[in-house]
Chain A
Amino acid sequence: MEVFLQLTLSGLSNGMVYALVAVGFVIIYKASDVINFAQGEFLTFGAYLSFAFLVQFGLPWSLGVLATMIVAGLIGLLVERLVLRPLIGEPVISMIMATIGLSSVLKALVNGIWGPRPRAFPAFLPSGEVEVFGAIVGADRLVTIGVAFTLLLLLTLFFRYTRDGIAMRAIADDQQAALSMGISIRRVLAVAWAMAAISASVGGIMLANIVGVGQEISVVGLKVFPVVILGGLDSIPGAIIGGAIIGLLEAYTGGYVGHGLNLIVPYIVLILVLMVRPYGLFGKEIIERV
C-alpha cells in the first residue's frame, strides 16, 4: 500500500510537469494548428534561465522565478514573430520542420551559454520528506502537484473569462468569423506563444527543483506527444488529465513491471489511442478519413 501511494504521488508529480509542458503545446495548437516540437527546449531553456537568475545573478527565488517567466514570455514572442509568422498558411511539414529547426537553435543556445555539463540547482521548494497516509514522499513533489494545479486552474479561468482567452477560443473555432469580429490573429498568436513558453518554463523550474538542471530534461518534450494525443490535441483539461494518466502509468510500470518498460509505455498508449480514438479523450472529433 505504501509503495502504491508512493508511486502514485511521484507519478502524479511527474505527470503534472508533463501537463505544464503539454498545456503550452495545446495552447499553440488551439490557436494556430501548429505542433511545437521545441516545447521540450522551452522547458530546458526555462530551467537554465532560472538557474542563471538564482545562481549567477543571485536573485531571491521569488524574483528569480518572476524574471524567468518574463524572459521566457519574451522569447516566445520573439519566436512567433521571427519564425512562425512568415510561415502562416504553409503545409504541416514546413511547420513541423520549422519548430524542429527552432529546437536545434535553442539547444545550441543553451549549450553555448551554459555549457553541456549538468548543474546543481539551489532547490528552493521545501525538500524534507512528508508522510502521507503512511507513504513517504518528498515535499517538493507535493508542492509541484499543488503549483501545477493552481497554474492549470488559472489557465482554465483565463480561457473562460479574459478577453484574450475568449479571442483565442474564437480563433480556434473559426478563424474567418473571428477575423470579421475584429479579433487580431497576430496578437492572439503572439500571446499564445508567450503563454506556451511561460508554462513550459514553469515546468522547467519545477523539474530543476526535483532533478537538477541538465540538457537531458528536454526529453520531457517528447513525452508531451503521448500526453496530448491521449487528452486530445485541443483540450486543456485533456492535457492535465492526460499528463496525470501518463505520469501514473509510467510510475506503476516502473514500480511493478520493471525491465525499463516504463520508458516505452507512453508510446504504446499513444499508438493505441491513435488507432482507436485519434481525437483523444476530450478532443474535438474532426479527423477526416479517406
Chain B
Amino acid sequence: MESGVFFSDYRNDAALRKMPLQKIRIGLFVLAVVIFPFFASPFLLNLANQIAIATVGALGLNLLVGYTGQISLGQGAFMAVGAYAAGIFTVRFGLPFYLSIPLASLMAAAIGLLFGLPSLRLKGLYLAIATLAAQQIVEWIITHWTGLTGGTEALVVPAPELFGVRLNRDFNFYWIGVTVAGLSALFVANLVRSRVGRAFVAIRDQDIAASAIGVNVFQYKLLAFATSSFLVGLSGALIANYRTIVTWERFTIETSILYLAMIIIGGLGSVSGSFFGAVLITLLPAVINTIGRNFQDSAPAIAAILPFVQQATFGLIIILFLILEPEGLAKLWRNVKDYFRVWPFSY
C-alpha cells in the first residue's frame, strides 16, 4: 500500500517518467495514437491534425508564459510569420517542405527575438501590451506588403510531396503532425528540467533573486522568446503545409487569445497541460457545431444561437477555470491520479 511518491536514489528522481505506471500509460497512449488513424473518420482525423498543430503552438506559448512568466499576446503574429515564411520559401524558392518548415521556424524565432527585446525593460502587463502592439504591427505589415505576402488575398502554397505522395491529405499529414507534436513535447519536457528550464522558472518566480544567484536574466529571457517563437512558428508552418492556403485572418489577436486560453485551461507551466488545453479548445467548437447540425431540422432556433453559445462558453470556461482551478486540467488529471494511487487513504 502506498502513501505517496518517494524516491530512494537520484537516478530515479531525475528520470523523465518516474513510475512504472507512467511508462505503461505513455505506452498505451502511443499505441492509441498509432492505431487511431486506421479506424477514424476523415472528420476525426482532421480534428486530430488540428489538435497536433495546436499542441505544438501551445507548447511554445507555455514555454514563454507558463515557464518563463513573460505574458505574450503576440502568438498570432509569430504563427503568421511561420506560416507566411513557409509559404513564401516554397512558392518563391521552390524549397521542399522538409527545408521550408525548419527555415520558417527559424525565421519566426528571429522575429520573436526582435519582439522579445522590449521584455528587457518591461514586465507583466506592460510586456503584454507591448506584445499586443507587436501583434497589430505584424498583422498590418502582412496585409500591406502585398508584393511579398499577397496582402489580404490568400497565399496559395503547393501541397507538400514526398516521393510523389501528397502529404496534406488527412491520413498522411497525421503522421507528420503527431511526430512533430511528440518531438516538441519531448523537447520541452527535457528543456524544462535542464539548467535552461530551471533558469526560466527562476525568472518567472522572482527575477531579482534569479539574477542574484547567477542567472543572466537578459540572455535567458531572449532565449525563452526565441525558443517559444520557434515552436510557435513551427505550428504556423505546419498549418501552411496542411491547409495549403495562408490567410491573415487565421493569425489575428483572436488566435493569440485562443492559445492563451489553451494554456490557462490546460495548465500553465505544464507539458501535458498544453496538450489537454489544445484538445479542449479544438474540440469545443467542433462539438458545438455537431450539436448545431443535429438541431438544424428539428429546432432551427437552437441551431441559430449556437455560435453565440460557443463564444459565451469559451469565455465562461476561461473565467471558471481561473476561479475554480487556476492550475488547469493538468492539475485535475493529477488529482485523479493521486486519488487512485493512495486510495483508500487519501490523507
Contacts and interface: CB of A to CB of B under 8 A. Distances in A.
Contacts of A275: 118, 121
A86 B322 CA distance: 9
A98 interface: yes
Contacts of B124: 92
Interface residues of A, number: 42
Interface in B102-133: 118, 121-126, 128-130, 132-133
A92 B136 CA distance: 22
Given A86-B323, A107-B311, A108-B308, A92 B133 contact: no
Given A92-B124, A94-B326, A112-B305, A104 B314 contact: yes
B122 A96 contact: no
Contacts, number: 132
A104 B260 CA distance: 13
A222 B132 contact: yes
Contacts of B123: 287-288, 290
Contacts of A259: 144
A278 B305 contact: no
Interface residue range, chain B = 35 or more
Given A92-B128, A97-B260, A97-B264, A267 B133 contact: yes
Nearest to B144: A260
Chain A interface main SS type = helix
Contact of A97 (B129, B134, B261, B311): B261
A229 B305 CA distance: 38
B211 interface: yes
B238 interface: no
A274 B121 CA distance: 9
Given A98-B318, A104-B318, A278 B71 contact: no
30 contacts: A87-B322, A92-B124, A93-B65, A96-B125, A96-B128, A97-B318, A97-B322, A98-B319, A100-B260, A101-B318, A102-B319, A104-B257, A104-B312, A105-B312, A105-B316, A108-B315, A109-B308, A109-B312, A111-B308, A112-B305, A222-B136, A225-B129, A229-B126, A267-B140, A270-B129, A271-B118, A278-B121, A287-B121, A287-B126, A290-B207
Please provide the 5 A-B residue pairs with the shortest distance between their CB atoms, ordered closest to farther: A104-B315, A101-B318, A108-B312, A105-B315, A108-B311
Interface of A: 35, 83, 86-87, 90, 92-94, 96-98, 100-109, 111-112, 222, 225-226, 229, 259-260, 263-264, 267-268, 270-271, 274-275, 278, 287-290
